Amino acid sequence: MSFIKKLGTITAAVSVAALMAAGAADAKNFKIAVGDSAGSAQEALGIAFVKALEEKSGGEHTATLFLNGQLGSEQDTVNEAAIGTLDMSLLAINNITPFSPSVGVFTLPYVILSLEDAEKLTQGPIGQELVENTIRDAGVRIIGWTYTGFRRLTNSKKPVSSVADLQDLIIRVPKNEIMIETYKSWGINPTPMAWSETFTGLQTKVVDGQDNPYLTINAMKFYEVQNHVTNLRYIFSIEPLIISEAVFQDLSEEEQQMILEAGQEATLASAQFLRDSEAAIKEELTAKGMEIIDPENDEAEFIELATGAVWPQFYDSIGGVEKLNAVLEAIGRDPVQQ
């Protein structure tokens, strides 16, 4: 082989090696903070997102889930994502509301009445508007939506079927004003408590009860410290997957598109996961000793008190009563009359 041909071969080999090294250097492993534990709807969405991202990037990019609040409280992860020290977080929407109040429209009691309502709202124009609002207000971008189901009331003392039954119970709620005011409308002062402290609070009876969907109750093993469940439907639990906007903007356009498409696929997978698993989880909780009952009169008293007292308090924070009416119209319900 001539010197020139030999040199060309060496140069080509070095170039390929350099390209491979550059590709390896660009490979990303995103850290995703997850509030809930294994078996939860949050984990199911996270797994679907990682799978889709790996497929779309040809295995170049992936992500790691840090379950059960390993990376901090859900509200803390919003702060960390906002400043770019955390890539992504999966968390309850009520923990984004303090940073971007307009998303609180999804946590107003008795607005969302079905999974289908939740899908229409989150995947349509209203959902996109809230995505833009969270970028503006909180420095994070919603890229996927977890559908976890209605928040059911649990407690360790007695069956609860009416507002009157609540009166001597101490109920844990997230540090969210809408949820706090909802319980106040029912005549009790709930106890705001961090998610990471909730199981211990129930176990030691600092609080008597809490509310969360069946999937979360099961994943968090609340059946070990609670034995009564009331089928409240006051909030449909939506838990977004957020990415730091600073991290997102550092990605190439192709990578951004991969992230958005993976988030959409994970969203669709989450809805199917809920449809496939909720009924079986409810039966499993009964088998584990939880007594499940329905509220009296199809929640009429709960609904009247909560919507009458709570909705007007938060019109301004969600962007005006017209924003609520747009949500109601999108799901085929009558607007609020003023």
List pLDDT tens digits, range 130-154: 999 999 999 999 999 999 999 999 9
Q: How confident is the model at residue 22 (pLDDT cuts 50, 70, 90)?
A: very low
So where are the chain's domains? 28-330
Q: How confident is the model at residue 10 (pLDDT cuts 50, 70, 90)?
A: very low
Closest CA to 39 of 215, 168, 269, 166: 215
Q: What percent of the chain has pLDDT over 90?
A: 92
Are the beta carbons of 106 and 89 closer than 8 angstroms? no
| Fold (CATH) for 28-330 | D-Maltodextrin-Binding Protein; domain 2 (3.40.190)
The predicted structure's pLDDT at residue 178: 97
The predicted structure's pLDDT at residue 234: 97
Are the beta carbons of 38 and 67 closer than 8 angstroms? yes
Scanning the structure block, which residue is given the tokens 């970028």? 135
The predicted structure's pLDDT at residue 14: 40
Residue 291: half-sphere exposure toward Cβ, Cα within 13 Å: 10
Q: How many CB atoms lie within 10 A of CB 24?
A: 9
Q: What are phi and psi of 8, to 5 degrees?
A: -65, -40
d(CA 292, CA 218): 13
Closest CA to 250 of 62, 92, 87: 87
Quote the crossing angle between the two packed helices 41-56 and 253-287, to the nearest 10°. Answer: 150
Inform me whether the pLDDT recorded for 1 exceeds 60.
Answer: no
Inform me whether the pLDDT recorded for 294 exceeds 90.
Answer: yes
What pairing do the DSSP bridges indicate for beta strands 172-173 and 191-192?
Answer: parallel
In order, the DSSP letters of 126-177 are HHHHHHHHHHHHHSEEEEEEEEEEEPEEEESS----SHHHHTT--BEE-S-H
Which helix (H) or strand (E) element contains residue 81? helix 74-82
Least confident of 25-29, 110-114, 234-238, 298-302: 25-29
pLDDT digits (tens, 9 = 90+) for 100-127: 999 999 999 999 999 999 999 999 999 9
Q: What percent of the chain has pLDDT over 70?
A: 93
- To the nearest whole number, what is the mean pLDDT of the chain? 93
pLDDT digits (tens, 9 = 90+) for 154-212: 999 999 999 999 999 999 999 999 999 999 999 999 999 999 999 999 999 999 999 99
Closest CA to 154 of 218, 90, 102, 209: 209
pTM: 0.90
The predicted structure's pLDDT at residue 2: 44
DSSP three-state, residue 28: coil
Which helix (H) or strand (E) element contains residue 119? helix 115-122
The predicted structure's pLDDT at residue 18: 38
Inform me whether the pLDDT recorded for 243 exceeds 60.
Answer: yes
The predicted structure's pLDDT at residue 26: 81
Question: What's the mean pLDDT in 19-36?
Answer: 74
Sign of CA dihedral 207, 289, 237, 81: positive
